[in-house]
Structure 1
Amino acid sequence: MQFSANLGFLWKELSLPDAILAAKNAGFAAVECHWPYDVPAEKVKAALQETGLKMLGLNTRRGDTSAGDNGLAAIPGRVSEARAAIEEAIAYASEIGTPNVHVMAGFAQGDEARATFLDNLHYACELAAQSNITILIEPLNHYDAPGYFLSTTQQASDLIALVGKTNLKLMFDCYHVQLMEGDLSHRLEKLMPLIGHIQFASVPDRSAPDHGEVNYEYIFKLLNSLSYPKPLGAEYKPSGDTSASLGWMSALKHA
């Protein structure tokens, strides 16, 4: 089993290029991030080339975070902002060789929001296909993100079917899915054809995956049995120093 370090949470005190180096030194097989846009793409690309790691994914911008935005793509009336964020993310991902872009839906509800999200996902998929990039959508739990448009895997599956693009996939974050729906094993088995990336953290505290209500040794063995081929995203919040939180890697990498 191989792991990807989510640098949105791990080594946050370091610059993004330095965090990539730290992830390599810690034994991660890949990296991923949230919003890399304050760092010139050429600097990130140089760090990736130096380490031999791939940046597996990044997110579209959230919008005006001071006003509470957490994504734009499902918000009626903000299509131009949403598409600018999509274009920016795909261009950045293309420059650094990142295969996945997570399009963040934002806080919205109702039929108009759904139609807006579908239209923006069509746009994102068509644009991303030109660079061989996959678009991801991720359900977020309503404890951490109350009011977020996308909250369940069934909702995500329905949207993927309606968009009908082969480069639209589900980001299956075990932390969010467990909090909202549970039954991780059966959901992973059922949804595997739709899954583009998998992330994990302890539940319910979103810390290192060596405690809590999810037995990740069992989950990782299941993923091996399902022949899931990609590094799993360690998207957890260390309670202290990141490097001191990595004891789980040696325990779980042979699951």
Structure 2
Amino acid sequence: MTRFSANLGFLWNDLPLPEAIRAAKDSGFHAVECHWPYETDASEIKAALEDTGLTMLGLNTLRGDVSAGENGLSALPGRQAEARAAIDLAIEYADAVDAAAIHVMAGKATGPKAHAVFLENLAYAADRTRRIILIEPLNRHDAPGYFLETTTQASGIIAELAISNLKLMFDCYHVGRSEGDVITRLTDLFLIVGHIQIASVPYRRQPDHGELHYPSIFSAISELGWRRPIGAEYKPDGPTEGSLGWMHQYTR
């Protein structure tokens, strides 16, 4: 049986996070993950997780000034103090809710200085916690100008740093939009993958829509030996409960 994690940045995002966690449990998810939970007291999240028996798989570092279009801080030259404050906050929150991983968001940047700063901040993050530090390439259509664009770039950074708790967030949606050949890329990179996410291509809906054939992808993931929940990070085309038909065939 394949297990799934509800990404509460998109699923039940009309509910307060503790209620969304409970809704995910009631709908058959085995874990949850979120984007930026910081406006909710961590004790409320911890209580909801304990009540439901679900695990929080991950959360993101802050994006910075969202009104100015910022989408992360850790690859921005001259912003190291803010980036590390965001990392420290994420670690503190992850410790409070026992989240398995922290996604360190790079931000919009380019060039060798950005690369050097990103590596320094990733090393800082990995040294500060035993939790998994994730980096995730974002596709150029949804996140133009984002520093980390491809799995090749991400795998190069992971190899360069050679830190045991630095891993790749393999989002089938982003890889499908930017690179294609999702199963081959996942197979080639599997040893450095720390989390897997899914959504349809190109519209980021539930995974029984679009170009990607998820039955084949789920079969490949299973054959590779992945046993952790897969993150459902898609935008429902209506109420979340009505979008879950795809999942029930895999979790019966």
Q: Mark yes or no: TM-score above 0.5.
A: yes
Return the alpha-carbon distance in structure 1 between the equivalents of residues 156 and 224 of structure 2: 23
Match of 1:196, SS state, is strand
Q: 2:244 matched to 1:243?
A: no
| Counterpart position of 1:111 | 112
TM-superposed CA distance for 1:188, in Å, is: 1.1
Query: How high is the sequence identity, in percent, across the aligned residues?
Result: 59
**Paired residue for 1:228, among 226, 229, 250?**
226
Indicate conservation of the 8 Å contact 1:217/1:252, yes or no: no
Letter aligned with residue 9 of structure 2: G
Return the alpha-carbon distance in structure 2 between the equivalents of residues 216 and 119 of structure 1: 36
Letter aligned with residue 112 of structure 2: D
Please show how residues 34-183 of structure 1 align to structure 2 within 5 Å.
34-128=35-129, 132-183=130-181
Match of 1:66, SS state, is helix
1:182-207 C-alpha deviation (Å, 9 max, x unpaired): 11111111111000000000000000
Letter aligned with residue 93 of structure 2: Y
Match of 1:146, SS state, is coil
Return the alpha-carbon distance in structure 1 between the equivalents of residues 222 and 159 of structure 2: 26
1:123-171 C-alpha deviation (Å, 9 max, x unpaired): 000002xxx2010000000000000000100000000011110000000
1:14-44 C-alpha deviation (Å, 9 max, x unpaired): 0000000000000000000000000010000
Return the alpha-carbon distance in structure 2 between the equivalents of residues 163 and 86 of structure 1: 18
Any stretches of 5+ residues in structure 1 without a counterpart? Answer: none
Return the alpha-carbon distance in structure 2 between the equivalents of residues 40 and 125 of structure 1: 24
Match of 1:189, SS state, is helix
TM-superposed CA distance for 1:253, in Å, is: 3.7
Return the alpha-carbon distance in structure 2 between the equivalents of residues 181 and 253 of structure 1: 29
Letter aligned with residue 190 of structure 1: D
TM-superposed CA distance for 1:95, in Å, is: 1.0
Return the alpha-carbon distance in structure 1 between the equivalents of residues 151 and 135 of structure 2: 10
* Count of matched residue pairs: 251
Indicate conservation of the 8 Å contact 1:17/1:43, yes or no: yes
Match of 1:48, SS state, is helix
**Paired residue for 2:190, among 185, 189, 192?**
192
Return the alpha-carbon distance in structure 1 between the equivalents of residues 240 and 76 of structure 2: 35
Letter aligned with residue 209 of structure 1: P
Match of 2:174, SS state, is helix
TM-score by length of 2: 0.98
Match of 1:166, SS state, is coil
| Counterpart position of 2:25 | 24
Return the alpha-carbon distance in structure 2 between the equivalents of residues 241 and 187 of structure 1: 32
TM-superposed CA distance for 1:252, in Å, is: 3.5
Return the alpha-carbon distance in structure 2 between the equivalents of residues 194 and 164 of structure 1: 10
Structure 1 segments of 4+ aligned residues over 3 angstroms from their partners = none
Letter aligned with residue 243 of structure 1: E
TM-score by length of 1: 0.97
Match of 1:4, SS state, is strand
| Counterpart position of 1:214 | 212
Match of 1:172, SS state, is strand
Indicate conservation of the 8 Å contact 1:55/1:96, yes or no: yes
Return the alpha-carbon distance in structure 2 between the equivalents of residues 250 and 45 of structure 1: 27
Return the alpha-carbon distance in structure 1 between the equivalents of residues 235 and 4 of structure 2: 15
Q: 2:13 matched to 1:12?
A: yes
Any stretches of 5+ residues in structure 2 without a counterpart? Answer: none
Match of 1:12, SS state, is coil
